[in-house]
């Protein structure tokens, strides 16, 4: 193809014209134009140069030659003549470049760029002389096939303001008519023996021919290596394919091969012996290294291949291939495929079922099956027969033949179990197993569980003792009762409680329930002077976390009318919960409140909790409360978090966080400060609070009550704690 130097508009137009002209030339026609632009003269190519050997084809020469181009009067401005070389029919590589040397135009050497030369400028019409010293094309390894053409061609054109005119010069062409062929030389060698087969087998090969070579080692030999054009092929591959691009050499090296023995064995697994054989292909007393031997397992009657082992054989596929790289021993293990049936049945006056594990319709030889007898309600299992014996509920059978097993069940009587509870407390009694009636001989366990605030105290009926559980064997109808007692504290005594007969003072009793369950307090009033009991009163149920107070008048009103009401009482108390008690005295005369808690158990503050703290509504009536927080940490300041709860309901109203309190310091908190920070309503502020430390704080609380009428501050922190809780019912404790 004739190529332009650049893809300008003018160059593109020239290429299109050149393509048209080349097509005409191929068809045997010459280009024409209304006006002759020029002629290519005196260009001849000796055909003998392009025929014969490959070496001649690789150095095809055109020249030396001279030619002229005659221009006519079309050129009114500078014209341009392009000269190029065209090679067709050859297989070009990326580096192939035809070469023309010594091309001059009117004495000026033209420079070659790829297939093009710099243009020759023509400024006047007339004859333009060209001289070609030598035109050659070097194949550079490409194939010069028959019909390859080497051509010298040119174009002359002019561009004006009104039109473009193109004309392609005639070309001089030489044709390569002789095909080129190559030889393939194959050799073999080494300490071993063998031959190399060539396909196709020919004296010579055209460029690009594909040839397959196969190395055939003789007995006792093996291919060691390929060489030459097959050197990249591994020795384990006995075949090599080459593509002919020139004279080619291939070699194969053979070595003497080692020989190895192959031993086959059979084995059996399972309790039943299984048989089989192994077929070997090919059969030999010894095998050359690399020989692949195929082993085929043939199980005997009632058998199957279980697994291969040795020689690299694994799994249970019927065949296995062994590559002989050493002496090998291969074992095929066979397993019996026989199966046996297990038949089970039941008999007797009772009913039940027999279960098998594993369960199957048929069992492989040697399978161990466990049978379990399950008696229905009202029946009992009495024993096995057949392949099992004994009276245990389970039996194991080894399946080495068809087996039959029977189980016998008989009807047994059943009995009822009646369970109840009694006492002042509450609780539940559960039976395991739970259904009633029970089959004769059933072992039943009863468990007593006391409710919160109660204690289990013992069994009666067919159970006895105080343990929480009782075991029974159901051989008759049975009745069992469990007793529960309400939990109460020990006796707490408080002397000097004013009655309503004392006009100068009035006593109030305050109770705080610190447990997790509601309970009551039983209060017994006795004459302080004589010790005579005047009667007992039981409070309403006090919810957990609440601190109600009761006026002595309330307690007196629940007792029988006194003949003569004493001025002072001795009070004994027992509670159904753990908690505290306070005796508060109010003197109407001076309007003071005092903490007169002086119990026989002693008084002490609860360091992390204060109860019955007056809300600001009560404080406005002359009895404001304040809380003093003491930080007993000797090294660190800390803040305290206080939970404020309604003393009547126990409900939390919110949490207050104080400012930092210095080490060994204290902070006084007015109750209104806590209320404002939490957002307590004025209605809530008319009651009592329970205030508790919530965070990890080293210190304690103090509740101070100001009697505004007389300017006296009373410590309301001390309380009496109820003695440890017990599980007995009081029998009218006496007063002191």
23 sits in which H/E element? helix 9-26
Q: Is 9 helix (H, G, I), strand (E, B) or coil?
A: helix
- In whole angstroms, what is the distance from residue 377 CA to residue 224 CA? 84
Q: Which residue has the higher pLDDT, 424 or 101?
A: 424
Same fold, 9-176 and 487-579+722-736: no
Which tens digit of pLDDT belongs to each residue from 331-340? 999 988 888 8
Q: Is the pLDDT of residue 91 over 60?
A: no
- In whole angstroms, what is the distance from residue 412 CA to residue 440 CA? 6
Which tens digit of pLDDT belongs to each residue from 349-375? 999 999 999 998 888 888 899 999 999
Q: Is the pLDDT of residue 390 over 90?
A: yes
Q: Which two tokens stand for residue 416?
A: 């009822």
Report the pLDDT value the prediction gives residue 344, as an integer from 0 to 100: 95
Q: Is the pLDDT of residue 84 over 80?
A: no
Sign of the C-alpha dihedral computed for residues 461, 464, 467 and 470 taken in this order? negative
Report the pLDDT value the prediction gives residue 117, as an integer from 0 to 100: 57
**Residue 25 φ then ψ, to 5°:** -65, -40
Q: Are 91 and 105 in contact (CB under 8 A)?
A: no
**Residue 180 φ then ψ, to 5°:** -105, 140
- In whole angstroms, what is the distance from residue 65 CA to residue 576 CA? 137
Q: Are 508 and 538 in contact (CB under 8 A)?
A: no
Q: Which two tokens stand for residue 361?
A: 């319709």
Which tens digit of pLDDT belongs to each residue from 260-303? 899 999 999 877 788 999 999 999 988 887 889 999 999 998 88
55 sits in which H/E element? helix 54-57
CB atoms within 10 A of CB 262: 20
Which tens digit of pLDDT belongs to each residue from 224-257? 899 999 999 998 899 999 998 888 999 999 988 7
Q: Which residue has the higher pLDDT, 113 or 586?
A: 586
Q: Is the pLDDT of residue 168 over 60?
A: no
Lowest mean pLDDT among 132-136, 649-653, 724-728: 132-136
Taking residues 170-186, report their average pLDDT.
60
Q: Which two tokens stand for residue 19?
A: 């393509």
Taking residues 702-730, report their average pLDDT.
82
CB atoms within 10 A of CB 407: 26
Q: Is the pLDDT of residue 135 over 90?
A: no
Q: Is the pLDDT of residue 22 over 60?
A: no
Q: Is the pLDDT of residue 689 over 90?
A: yes
Q: Is the pLDDT of residue 131 over 50?
A: yes
Report the pLDDT value the prediction gives residue 316, as an integer from 0 to 100: 93
Q: Which two tokens stand for residue 272?
A: 């039943």
Taking residues 75-102, report their average pLDDT.
47
Report the pLDDT value the prediction gives residue 147, as an integer from 0 to 100: 45
Q: 441-466: b or e for each residue (b if 16 or more CB lie within 10 Å)?
A: ebebebebebeebbbbbbbeebbeee
Report the pLDDT value the prediction gives residue 153, as an integer from 0 to 100: 52
Torsion angle, CA of 659/665/670/676, rounded to 10 degrees? Answer: 10
Report the pLDDT value the prediction gives residue 452, as an integer from 0 to 100: 76
607-716 classified as CATH 2.60.290:
yes
Taking residues 208-225, report their average pLDDT.
89
Which tens digit of pLDDT belongs to each residue from 445-488? 999 998 877 889 999 999 999 999 999 999 999 999 999 887 77
Pick the CATH number of 9-176 from 1.20.1630, 3.30.160, 2.40.128, 2.60.40: 2.60.40
Report the pLDDT value the prediction gives residue 384, as an integer from 0 to 100: 96
Report the pLDDT value the prediction gives residue 211, as an integer from 0 to 100: 96
Name 321's Cβ contacts closer than 8 Å, sequence gap at least 6.
292, 293, 294, 295
Closest by CA to 272, choosing from 307, 237, 301, is 301
Q: Which residue has the higher pLDDT, 729 or 554?
A: 554
Lowest mean pLDDT among 41-45, 66-70, 726-730: 41-45
Q: How open is the CA angle 658-659-661, to the nearest 5 degrees?
A: 100
Name 732's Cβ contacts closer than 8 Å, sequence gap at least 6.
524, 533, 536
Report the pLDDT value the prediction gives residue 492, as an integer from 0 to 100: 84
Taking residues 92-111, report their average pLDDT.
55
pLDDT averaged over every residue in the chain:
78
**Residue 571 φ then ψ, to 5°:** -115, 130
* Percent of the chain residues past pLDDT 70, beyond the cut: 74
Q: Is the pLDDT of residue 19 over 50?
A: no
Lowest mean pLDDT among 38-42, 82-86, 649-653: 38-42
- In whole angstroms, what is the distance from residue 675 CA to residue 655 CA? 10
Name 731's Cβ contacts closer than 8 Å, sequence gap at least 6.
none
Which tens digit of pLDDT belongs to each residue from 523-569? 999 999 888 999 999 999 999 999 999 999 999 988 887 767 899 99
Q: Are 581 and 572 in contact (CB under 8 A)?
A: no
Sequence ranges of the domains in the chain: 9-176, 182-256, 259-336, 342-411, 414-485, 487-579+722-736, 607-716
Q: Is the pLDDT of residue 697 over 90?
A: yes
Name 587's Cβ contacts closer than 8 Å, sequence gap at least 6.
504, 505, 594
Q: Which two tokens stand for residue 590?
A: 């001076």
Report the pLDDT value the prediction gives residue 703, as an integer from 0 to 100: 93
Name 701's Cβ contacts closer than 8 Å, sequence gap at least 6.
605, 607, 608, 609, 610, 627, 628, 629, 630, 691, 693, 717
pTM of the model: 0.42
Per the listing, tokens 């908690």 go with 579
Residues counted in the chain: 736
Taking residues 580-589, report their average pLDDT.
91
Q: Are 309 and 334 in contact (CB under 8 A)?
A: no
- In whole angstroms, what is the distance from residue 547 CA to residue 308 CA? 85
Lowest mean pLDDT among 82-91, 209-218, 510-519: 82-91
Q: Is 56 helix (H, G, I), strand (E, B) or coil?
A: helix
For residue 434, name the pLDDT band (cuts at 50, 70, 90): confident
Report the pLDDT value the prediction gives residue 585, as an integer from 0 to 100: 93
Report the pLDDT value the prediction gives residue 388, as an integer from 0 to 100: 95
Q: Which residue has the higher pLDDT, 215 or 683?
A: 215
Q: Is the pLDDT of residue 10 over 70?
A: no
Q: Is the pLDDT of residue 343 over 50?
A: yes
Q: Is the pLDDT of residue 591 over 80?
A: yes
In CATH, the number for domain 487-579+722-736 is: 2.60.290.11
For residue 667, name the pLDDT band (cuts at 50, 70, 90): very high
Q: Is the pLDDT of residue 96 over 60?
A: no
Lowest mean pLDDT among 143-157, 385-399, 546-560, 609-623: 143-157
């Amino acid at each position: 193809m004739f190529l332009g130097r650049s893809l300008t508009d003018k160059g593109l137009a020239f290429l299109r014209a050149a393509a048209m002209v080349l097509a005409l030339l191929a068809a045997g026609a010459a280009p024409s134009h209304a006006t002759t632009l020029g002629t290519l003269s005196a260009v001849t190519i000796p055909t003998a140069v392009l025929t014969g050997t490959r070496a001649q084809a690789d150095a095809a020469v055109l020249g030396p030659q001279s030619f002229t181009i005659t221009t006519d009067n079309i050129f009114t401005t500078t014209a341009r003549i392009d000269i190029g070389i065209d090679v067709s029919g050859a297989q070009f590589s990326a580096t192939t470049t035809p070469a023309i040397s010594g091309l001059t135009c009117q004495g000026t050497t033209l420079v070659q760029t790829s297939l093009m030369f710099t243009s020759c400028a023509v400024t006047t019409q007339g004859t333009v002389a060209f001289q070609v010293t030598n035109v050659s094309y070097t194949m550079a390894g490409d194939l010069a096939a028959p019909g390859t053409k080497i051509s010298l061609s040119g174009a002359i054109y002019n561009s004006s303001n009104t039109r473009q005119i193109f004309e392609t010069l005639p070309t001089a062409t030489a044709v390569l008519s002789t095909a080129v062929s190559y030889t393939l030389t194959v050799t073999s060698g080494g300490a071993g023996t063998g031959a190399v087969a060539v396909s196709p087998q020919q004296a010579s090969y055209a460029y690009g021919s594909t040839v397959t070579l196969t190395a055939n080692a003789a007995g006792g030999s093996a291919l060691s290596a390929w060489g030459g054009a097959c050197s990249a092929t591994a020795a384990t591959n006995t075949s090599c394919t080459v593509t002919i691009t020139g004279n080619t050499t291939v070699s194969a090296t053979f070595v003497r091969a080692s020989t190895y023995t192959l031993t086959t064995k059979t084995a059996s697994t399972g309790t039943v012996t299984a048989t089989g054989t192994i077929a070997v292909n090919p059969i030999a007393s010894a095998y050359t290294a690399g020989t692949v031997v195929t082993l085929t397992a043939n199980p005997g009657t009632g058998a199957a291949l279980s697994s291969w082992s040795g020689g690299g054989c694994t799994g249970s596929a019927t065949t296995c291939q062994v590559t002989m790289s050493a002496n090998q021993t291969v074992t095929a293990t066979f397993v019996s495929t026989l199966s046996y049936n297990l038949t089970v049945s039941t008999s007797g006056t009772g009913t039940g079922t027999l279960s098998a594990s594993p369960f199957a319709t048929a069992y492989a030889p040697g399978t161990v099956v466990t049978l379990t007898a399950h008696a229905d309600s009202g029946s009992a299992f009495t024993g096995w027969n057949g392949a099992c014996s004994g009276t245990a509920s389970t039996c194991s059978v080894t399946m080495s033949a068809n087996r039959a097993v029977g189980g016998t069940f008989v009807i047994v009587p059943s009995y009822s179990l009646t369970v109840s509870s009694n006492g002042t407390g509450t609780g539940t009694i559960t039976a395991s197993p739970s259904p009633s009636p029970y089959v004769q001989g059933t072992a039943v366990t009863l468990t007593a569980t006391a409710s919160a605030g109660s204690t289990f105290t013992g069994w009666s009926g067919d159970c006895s003792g105080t343990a929480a559980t009782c075991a029974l064997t159901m051989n008759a109808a049975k009745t069992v009762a469990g007793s529960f007692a309400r939990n109460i504290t020990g006796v707490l005594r408080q002397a000097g409680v004013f009655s309503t007969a004392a006009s100068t003072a009035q006593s109030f009793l305050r109770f705080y329930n610190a447990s997790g369950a509601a309970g009551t307090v039983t209060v017994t009033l006795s004459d302080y002077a004589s010790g005579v009991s005047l009667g007992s009163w039981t409070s309403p149920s006090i919810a957990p976390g609440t601190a109600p107070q009761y006026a002595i008048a309330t307690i007196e009103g629940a007792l029988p009318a006194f003949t003569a009401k004493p001025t002072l009482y001795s009070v004994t108390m027992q509670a159904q919960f753990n908690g505290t008690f306070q005796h508060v005295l109010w003197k109407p005369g001076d309007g003071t409140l005092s903490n007169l808690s002086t119990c026989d158990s002693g008084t002490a503050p609860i360091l992390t909790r204060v109860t019955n703290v007056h809300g600001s509504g009560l404080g406005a009536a002359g009895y404001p409360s304040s809380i003093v927080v003491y930080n007993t940490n000797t090294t660190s300041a800390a803040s305290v978090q206080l939970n404020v709860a309604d003393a009547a309901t126990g409900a939390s109203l919110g949490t207050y966080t104080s400012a930092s309190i210095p080490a060994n310091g204290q902070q006084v908190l007015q109750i209104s400060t806590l209320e404002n920070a939490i957002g307590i309503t004025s209605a809530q502020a008319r009651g009592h609070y329970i205030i508790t430390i919530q965070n990890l704080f080293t210190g304690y609380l103090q509740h101070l009550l100001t009697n505004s009428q007389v300017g006296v501050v009373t410590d309301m922190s001390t309380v009496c704690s109820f003695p440890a809780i017990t599980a007995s019912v009081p029998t009218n404790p006496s007063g002191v």
